[in-house]
Structure 1
Amino acid sequence: MRLTQRRPARPLSVLATIGALFLTGCGTQSGTPGGETGSASGSRTIRAQQFMQLTEVHDETGMTLLEGPVFGEDGGLYVVDVTAPEGRPKVMRVDVRRKTSRSVHTDGRGAYTSAQFSPYDGRLHLSDFAHGEIVSLAPGGGDPRTVFSGDVDGEPMNPDDIAFDPRGNLYVSDSRGLSEGTARGRVVRIDRKSGEATVLADDLAAPNGISFDPDYRGLWFSELTENRISYLRLDEAGAVTSRHTAIRVDGGIAQTDSIAVDADGNLYQGLHGRAAMAVFSPHGERLATVELPARAKGLESATNVAITPGGTRAYLTVSGPAGGYLYTFEALAEGTRQSNGG
């Protein structure tokens, strides 16, 4: 997630770690939301429209980065700002009807790169990339708890995105090795009852996006520095039965970021380094590209998306020197739990 600094940044303890994520990579016509045109590749171009600005570049960190949009049971859209300093909202709740936002959580330590609500206890879970932890909050904020911390198979984690299965077990994309440019990343399963961490896939090139398919039969994950999306077939116990590279993303200078999946199984692949999102069928066909209007300046990455549960209105997190924004468009199918791009 490469963000250009607008002004000199005063160093924070977390930026030495999280900076690697940004530097390595965690002309259209305007129209109505969901407006579409053709493209040279034959896929559709969907025109996203500005919904609201949530953040500005922070003086303390020299950047802002929105991530992890997720709808709560209360109808609110929860969004994290990865680089927010202490005292600024690190987790926000957006009222999409009123176009207002409020702070849900801040602290002096975390660098939160994703958010998901657990289907087991309803708590909001956050991945702290810089400190290798998963923490949780009460549904409306407050009552912070550490869900997981420590090494996995003797190696620390850099948890990026997260996903839950229906029983509340947690699946994490571990971007370990990103700062060194080495393929040491992993997909890790954390058992809800025991807290035991199991490596499902390893030797990965900075895994980032992670999401189940609609039937929870398999897990999609993207690798940032290889621009590819892979598929893990899982059994009922969450063990891997097969793995293969499913989609190679022609991103040019852009790289594969977070993933969300709609009710039809279509994949919404965020792009780091380009304010756009690629949409694929589960069979690998490029269905559409979500683009911003040409007038949108100073926005460099479209990291993630959440599709309204039971509806098709999608909210895209976009960031850059101009600040952090939500853009909206009409998705190809309805939103479900997996349509929140954890």
Structure 2
Amino acid sequence: MKNDTNLPKSTDTFSRRAFVKSVAASATGLLTTSFVTHAQDANRYLPGAAPIRYPEPDIIALDKRFTYKVGNAAIERIYTGMRWAEGPAWNAVGRYLIWSDIPANEQLRYLEEDNHVSRNFRQPSGHSNGNTFDFQGRQIACEHLSRRLVRYEHNGSVTVLTDSFAGKSYNAPNDVVVNPNDDSIWFTDPGYGSLGWYEGTKADTGSSQPYQKEAVFRIDGQNGKVTKVSDDLVKPNGLCFSPDYKKLYVSDTGASPSLIRVWDINGAKLSNGKTFCTMQYDGRKGGSDGIRADIHGNIWSSAGWAGEGFDGVHIFAPNGDRIGLIKLPEICSNLCFGGKHRNRLFMTASQSIYSVYVGTQGAHFA
């Protein structure tokens, strides 16, 4: 195994002047874009690999506003061996993380106190994708197989929150969040779980058309009524609220390049929709899937499908500027904040799950 270091590799294109500039920037936490390709590779996560020399080389500041890199905290791979990890959600009372392995038809659980991972926490899981916890501590899951949204009750029973809209089946609910101000539940239905049999079941509509127009839906917290709040996205995917719950952000993985939209929330309606950011960076077009907000209004987005130096997490300031990157050796599908102080970022990435402590806190649990 090679002996990795934080020093850039010697290349013809990386001059001594650029090296000095990168080292100086690293000391202040502001790394230049050119340093991205010289960060440590996937070998760092192999058993017996050399320890990481701080500061963490795979967290990249692109702007002075990115002040969230902890100088003596490293990215950790908690677990590997899934087929496609998705839907992480943190349970603050139980101090555990739940997530889905969609193709394996199971949910897994990570216990913070001893780093134990339980496979088959729920199996079968209905090929669940996104998960969250409501403000009564109940888990809500998006099931691809049955094309429905379910809630696991405290007594162990399962409540079907919704399985159809306007007389038609959903395509495959994807991600879900809860607004504590009115207990409303918001979820997306892009239909990825109905495209084939790997993550659900292929749609039997008799044509290439989905069951529903891909959309964002809201379930009223008082009467359970379902409302379609937006269907102007190609493939609405991950979603999150702003810290004050006055805005809704939704990633569109069907747009090219992939992008994140934002709206103002007016009760059960959305208004003033606009593009918040795009997933085009350094000449490459990638995808945004799961997203979360921190307490300062920054949006942390999973990133993938564009290769090394792009895949991982992209962090955007409240105005949509990209201010930081977290580089992972796998495509990142989703993320959430957890831990006692909500300052531990958990990232589901293809076959593995990673975490890192950051210098901010998640705006919301789960």
Q: TM > 0.5 between the two? A: yes
Match of 2:240 among 203, 208, 211: 211
1:303 aligns with 2:334: yes
- Whether the 8 Å contact between 1:211 and 1:221 is mirrored in structure 2 is yes
Q: Output aligned runs, 1:272-283, within 5 Å.
A: 272-273=304-305, 275-283=311-319
Partner SS, residue 173 of structure 1: strand
Q: Would you say 1:71 and 2:71 are equivalent positions?
A: no
Q: Which residue of structure 2 lines up, in the alignment, with residue 291 of structure 1?
A: 327
* Pair 32,133 (structure 1): closer, same or farther in 2 beyond 3 Å: farther
What is the distance in 1 between the residues matched to 2:125 and 2:345?
Answer: 31
Identify the match of residue 328 of structure 1 among 333, 355, 359.
355
- 1:250 alignment partner, one of 273, 280, 286: 280
| Secondary structure of 1:147's aligned partner | strand
**For residues 337 and 41 of structure 1, what CA distance do their matches in structure 2 show?**
25
Q: 1:161 to 1:239 in 2, by over 3 A?
A: same
CA shift at 1:262, angstroms?
Answer: 0.8
Deviates more, 1:221-230 or 1:141-150: 141-150
- Pair 1:78–1:72, CA change in 2 (3 A): farther
Distance 2:74 2:268 in 1: 36
Distance 1:76 1:133 in 2: 24
How far off its partner does 1:246 sit?
Answer: 1.5
**How does 1:1-342 map onto structure 2 within 5 Å?**
27=37, 28-29=39-40, 31-32=53-54, 49-53=75-79, 55-57=80-82, 63-85=83-105, 90-103=106-119, 105-108=121-124, 110-119=126-135, 121-138=136-153, 142-152=156-166, 154=168, 156-166=170-180, 167-176=182-191, 179=195, 184-226=213-255, 227-235=258-266, 237-250=267-280, 252-273=284-305, 275-292=311-328, 296=329, 299-308=330-339, 310-319=341-350, 323-324=351-352, 326-337=353-364, 340=366
The one-character-per-residue Cα deviations of 1:235-277 (angstroms, maximum 9, x if unpaired) are 2x23223211121221535211110111111111112325411
What is the letter of the counterpart of residue 156 of structure 1? Y
Number of residue pairs matched by the alignment: 291
Q: Highest Rg: 1 or 2?
A: 2
Q: Which amino acid aligns with 2:271?
A: T
Q: Contact between 1:261 and 1:268, CA under 8 Å: does it hold in 2?
A: yes
1:43-101 C-alpha deviation (Å, 9 max, x unpaired): 86969622321x525xxxxx33243232332221222221224xxxx222211231112
Quick check: 1:69–1:317 contact (8 Å CA) kept in 2? no
* In 2: Cα distance, 1:168 partner to 1:98 partner: 33
**CA separation of 1:148/1:72 partners in 2, compared to 1, >3 Å: closer, same or farther?**
farther
Query: Distance in 1 between the 2:162 and 2:121 partners?
Result: 19
Measure, in 1, the Cα distance between the counterparts of 2:60 and 2:164: 49
Maintained 8 Å contact 1:56/1:64: no
Q: Distance in 1 between matches of 2:81 and 2:171?
A: 29
Distance 1:138 1:243, change over 3 A: same
Contiguous gaps of at least 5 residues in structure 1 = 1-26, 58-62
Q: Which amino acid aligns with 2:290?
A: S
- Contact 1:310/1:336 (<8 A) preserved: no
Paired with 1:93 and 1:302, the residues of 2 have a C-alpha distance of 17
CA drift at 1:198: 0.6
TM-score when normalising by structure 2: 0.70
Percent pairwise identity: 18
TM-score (norm 1): 0.74
Cα deviation, residue 332, structure 1: 4.3
CA displacement, residues 9-48 of structure 1 (integer Å, 9 cap, x when unaligned): xxxxxxxxxxxxxxxxxx4235448557656788869696
* In structure 2, C-alpha distance between the alignment counterparts of 1:64 and 1:263, rounded to whole Å: 29
Letter in 1 for 2:101: D
User: In structure 1, how many angstroms separate the alpha carbons of the residues matched to 2:263 and 2:74?
Assistant: 31
Structure 2 alignment gaps of length 5 or more: 1-36, 41-51, 196-207
User: Could you tell me how far apart the structure 2 residues matched to 1:144 and 1:32 are?
Assistant: 46
Shift of the 291–155 alpha-carbon distance from structure 1 to 2, 3 Å rule, reads same
128-137 vs 203-212, which moves further: 128-137
Q: Does structure 2 retain, via aligned residues, the 8 Å contact 1:184–1:203? A: no
Distance in 1 separating the partners of 2:247 and 2:167: 23
Equivalent pair of 1:83/1:111 in contact (CA under 8 Å): yes
